[in-house]
Amino acid sequence: MSAAASSGRLARRSAARVLSAPVMVLLVLFIGPLIYLVYVSFTEAGITGDGSLTLGNFQEILGEPIYREVMLDTVVIAVAAMTILFLVAFPVACYLAFRAARWEIPLLLAIVLTDELNPLIRIYAWRIMLARDGLINSVLQGFGVIDEPVAALMFTRLSVIIVLSTTSLSFVVVPIYAAMKAVDRDLLEAARDLGAGWFMVMREVLLPLSAPGFIAAMIIVFVPMLSDFAAPAVVGGREGYMISSLIEEEFNERSDWGVGSALSFVVLAISSVFVFASVKASNVRRMQS
């Protein structure tokens, strides 16, 4: 082997090491805390714990009804909010992809810019609107729809669902819109030429072909919803309790880091299973299409 070839190989190896260094640092910074989280979840950690290994944290989670109830409530709230988001985002994405014409880009930018506002500000804005003396109750009373304020609009599951389903709209619209823009319009025209109505075209052609956009939106939005802390803390109250509120309580109020870490690990496991199932579903859809 010539000296020039050997020098070139060494240079390429050095360049590869330099380029991979930031990636390795990011992996360490990402995986390191997760490994520590798993470790703490199997220890007696906290003010009263001695740091010894135990399965008691997970036994407590599985044995206490409150943990199962809160986990179930969290899934119900997230599924309801995600369903509302899909029902709103689908027609919006359809309009942007096929009907907006010259307004397509301005409207898309407007939707994206709505998420540039701090999420906490949006949540507090909803708190003001949903309050007993807020805008929604005032408007309903002004039109004579109700005689007295509706208390169910605040500090309930409904209030958390409303906030979660309105603060992530752009993250659902954009992936679905992108998937629809990739659909060959000749396929839609062919379906209409064969006598399919608009509903049949939507159900049999557009929805299957834009399924990757729906799955991407679910991964981007649904997983963070499971661990959302701000919405239940600001507008949820005791009725809109979610697993993130319980984790915060274990760490800060009970100082039981072991149970808090175990709960975090359970949320991480549920999210991982959901992401894996979504990816598999996306692959199946791609093979069928």
Residue 5 lies in a domain: yes
Regarding whether 198 and 78 lie in a shared domain, the answer is yes
Residue 113 lies in a domain: yes
Q: Is the pLDDT of residue 8 over 60?
A: no
Residue 50 lies in a domain: no
Residue 267 lies in a domain: yes
Q: Is the pTM for the entire model greater than 0.85?
A: no
Nearest of 131, 153, 134, 120 to residue 231 by alpha carbon: 120
Tens digits of residue pLDDT in 76-88: 999 899 999 999 9
pLDDT at 88: 92
The amino acid present at 210, given as its one-letter code, is: S
Residue 52 lies in a domain: no
What is the domain count for the chain?
2
Domain coverage including residue 22: 1-41
Regarding whether 66 and 3 lie in a shared domain, the answer is no
Tens digits of residue pLDDT in 34-50: 888 888 888 887 655 66
Regarding whether 132 and 6 lie in a shared domain, the answer is no
Regarding whether 176 and 96 lie in a shared domain, the answer is yes
Residue 1 lies in a domain: yes
Region 216-237 average pLDDT: 87
Rounded Cα–Cα distance for residues 177 and 174 (Å): 5
CATH code for the domain in which residue 64 is found: 1.10.3720.10
Tens digits of residue pLDDT in 164-209: 988 888 889 999 999 999 888 888 888 888 888 888 888 888 888 8
Give the chain's mean pLDDT.
82
